[in-house]
Structure 1
């Protein structure tokens, strides 16, 4: 229920902010005489809605992650383990050249972790309770280094920007397709009709699925970079050991919400190459391990 409420609030914020921006820019109707598209207005509208949606999601990402994942922030350590987590993240953050992120633990049997936040100096790094139970300290440190690497690389911001641009082009071309069907096939010249809206929605879905492959390709690339950062900060052997520990858990059901998987250290295992791998946010763990083994890092 909480996720539904947050989803509705986010979309309401997008509509309100986008509407204000479009008014300030003086963007008028996207359709002119004879049901022709005003491409300039349409392009601006699509970029505003696409970018505003991604930016609002980015700005709200830390707040939403805390609530959807049930993250318990470590502010006053209550145990030696919590003190060690804070000290470890502080050391890694200093070495990576970023400000100290917030640190938390979320309840999950699965070993996992994620990082989020709207910029590299205002981030959150969280680990699952299962990870702390089943990994040794060197492996946990490597996982934390991986997440700090995401923050230091600015991956959250870059992913939001790419998502915004992709959203804009999907909206733009789907409405061009909708207008073509409405005017040319259904011969409607009196403004957008039902064919325009139905076709635009279908095109949104189809193009959105295809375009998500671009976003996921970047997401997989950034996982390799974060693994490299983790190896540089915590040692290649420890990073490989942590990934192998995750590999042993591929039978454990994934408990991460869909909106959080791109920020997690793993999303499970998929055997062989399938078309589905084009839409995976993470490369297979065996490929990540092989990549680390090929690096000249101690």
Structure 2
């Protein structure tokens, strides 16, 4: 699945949305001008005059500017309220955050599935929220992978089999990777701007009703005009909302078909997504009870609000969605799964949506296999590594111990003097208990293979998000001090620290949606050369091998005129290059990913440093780690 092209499509949809929004606002402006002119004419009582005799051009312009200011201001306020990303949306729907170390059977199973799909997709493990509804539904919300959340209903978590639940989660991950989430949040902001006109009208009607006790004729006449204006605003505003809902429904229906198809490609199991849809059709339904469902209906896996008119439905008909992924469907729906059947399920060692079966490269496959069995691609992995992995994974889910685990990964080899300096730094700054945790975790972390370390860091992100803001700031400072203890920052230290910043800064600070600014290769030529040069130099032992890998990367992605840059010990040029590349259009990011993929495969050997670099670079650019 070419997620980069679909991200470009989503961006084009955004442009279309803006144009339709402008058309809706223009219609509202004309309608409100005509309404005010009609009220003036009615107050004068001159049947021979036309509407245009009562409103001057200057007044028309002032009314138009006022309407634009009100709608634009309301949309801006709503957009600012949503700046917190997916977490704000989930909490507004009444979602309950699942703790990473939960022991509840259904919650644990759901978190495992989300982690599996995150590894397969090459993106951070998102926080998971549960809505109290007994229906079957789910959503993904956020601006980009680093601030995305997954939400499911209680019914979805408890009534679906593991395979069916995996299909639903895969559907939501495809929304994240296809660029649908940002489009969905913009829809929410746009529709609120249109709705705000109707809300003003409702307020005026209620105010006029409260003031109806006034008896004087002049005041009664003014109250009548006020009431009529409120009624007009109400009608016109909801007319705009009606138009906006048509836009929302049309955009959403097409993206749902794409997400269903992507889910099948992720899981390589059409029965997973079709099975979930069949359980909905059996009688569980997908309706959401939250008061916010009107605004957020287009975010969900299934139809959150029952619509009898297809034009206003945010999702295609259930039967049509099932037949698209299961053409031989016999028309029968499936009953929900029982608790007993769920507990007897045996999850696969490596999820169906990972590794080669999902069409992902060896980069995602390595992470998935390492997660499932505690080993990597080598057959000679020591037993101690496999034995340590489950314990370390459990620690990564513990919000109390997770900081010590990450710090342990940054400790230098015990044979180096700086190792004792780092331990003393932790003892003094973090206390004796933290120090003892590090000492306990040190032996098992030393058994990890290099390619296992960053996947473990990524699995720790939900637990790290449980920290308080001051704890996070202190943790981040400690990481930097550990990395700089020997006077330099090596490539693993850089990767770990940048991943921490990328995944946690949006959670503890302000979400900054990436803006696409660069659409041509010439705009990012130097930055592309910088990134590829760093990758090939770290991934190859000789300059000749690095040059060959660089040429293969440029050829694979169709880059011309790029020059291999000399090897440098400074990572500042890489940071500057990634800052600009993160603002490139999706299709350019896709080409860079393709070039990096060719570079790391050029010599037939995948090194841990190459995997770490590609994973980190992709995370900074907010794209899937790699796709075939």
Cα distance change of structure 1 residues 258 and 264 upon mapping to structure 2, 3 Å threshold: farther
Which residue of the partner structure matches residue 69 of structure 1? 94
Please point out which of 56, 59, 75 is paired with 1:35. Answer: 59
Alpha-carbon separation, structure 1, partners of 2:276 and 2:125: 23
> CA RMSD for the aligned pairs?
3.7
Q: Which residue of 1 aligns with 2:272?
A: 238
Structure 2 counterpart of 1:267: 303
Matched, 1:135 2:160: yes
Q: CA deviation at 1:144?
A: 1.0
What secondary structure does 2:292 align onto? helix
How many angstroms apart in 2 are the aligned matches of 1:285 and 1:168?
Answer: 31
Bigger RCO (CA 8 Å, 6+ sep): 1
User: Is the Cα–Cα contact under 8 Å of residues 87 and 142 in structure 2 kept in the other structure?
Assistant: yes
The reply on whether 1:220 has 2:253 as its aligned counterpart is: yes
Which residue of the partner structure matches residue 201 of structure 1? 234
Corresponding position of 1:98? 123
Shift of 1:57: 3.7
2: CA distance, partners of 1:84 / 1:115: 18
Distance in 1 of aligned mates of 2:129 and 2:166: 14
Deviation at 1:33, TM superposition (A): 8.0
Task: Name the stretch that deviates more: 41-50 or 115-124.
Answer: 41-50
Bigger radius of gyration:
2
Q: How far did 1:45 drift?
A: 4.9
> Residue 281 of structure 1: SS of its match in structure 2?
coil
Q: Is the 8 A contact 2:133 2:288 kept in 1?
A: yes
Equivalent residue for 1:257, pick from 268, 272, 290 = 290
C-alpha offsets along residues 239-272 of structure 1, whole Å, 9 cap, x if unaligned?
Answer: 112211221125x58343252433222227979x
Deviation for aligned residue 1:34: 5.8
TM-score (norm 1): 0.67
- SS in structure 2 opposite 1:232? helix
CA contact (8 A) 1:270 1:284 kept: no
- Kept in 2, the 8 Å contact 1:120–1:154? The answer is no
Aligned residues: 246
TM-score in terms of structure 2 length: 0.35
Question: 1:54-77 CA deviation, whole Å, 9 max, x = no partner?
Answer: 452463652352364342413213
Alignment of 1:1-298 (within 5 A): 35-38=59-62, 39=64, 42-43=67-68, 45-57=70-82, 59=84, 62-66=87-91, 68-79=93-104, 81-165=106-190, 194=226, 196-234=229-267, 235-250=269-284, 252=285, 254-260=287-293, 261-267=297-303, 276-293=309-326
**Structure 1: unaligned runs, 5 residues or longer:** 1-29, 176-192
Cα distance in 2 for residues equivalent to 1:67 and 1:269: 17
Deviation by residue 1:13-48 (Cα, 9 ceiling, x = unmatched): xxxxxxxxxxxxxxxxx9998633234565355334
State the Cα deviation string for residues 184-213 of structure 1 (Å, max 9, x = none).
xxxxxxxxx745554233211122213211
CA shift for structure 1 position 221: 1.8
1:142-172 deviation per Cα after TM superposition (whole angstroms, max 9, x unaligned): 1111111222223231023245456657879
- CA separation of 1:291/1:55 partners in 2, compared to 1, >3 Å: closer, same or farther? farther
Q: Look up the SS of the partner of 2:145 in the other structure.
A: coil
Unaligned runs of 5+ in 2: 1-32, 34-54, 201-224, 328-357, 360-628
Summarize the Cα distance change of 1:36–1:46 in structure 2 as closer, same or farther, 3 Å threshold. Answer: same
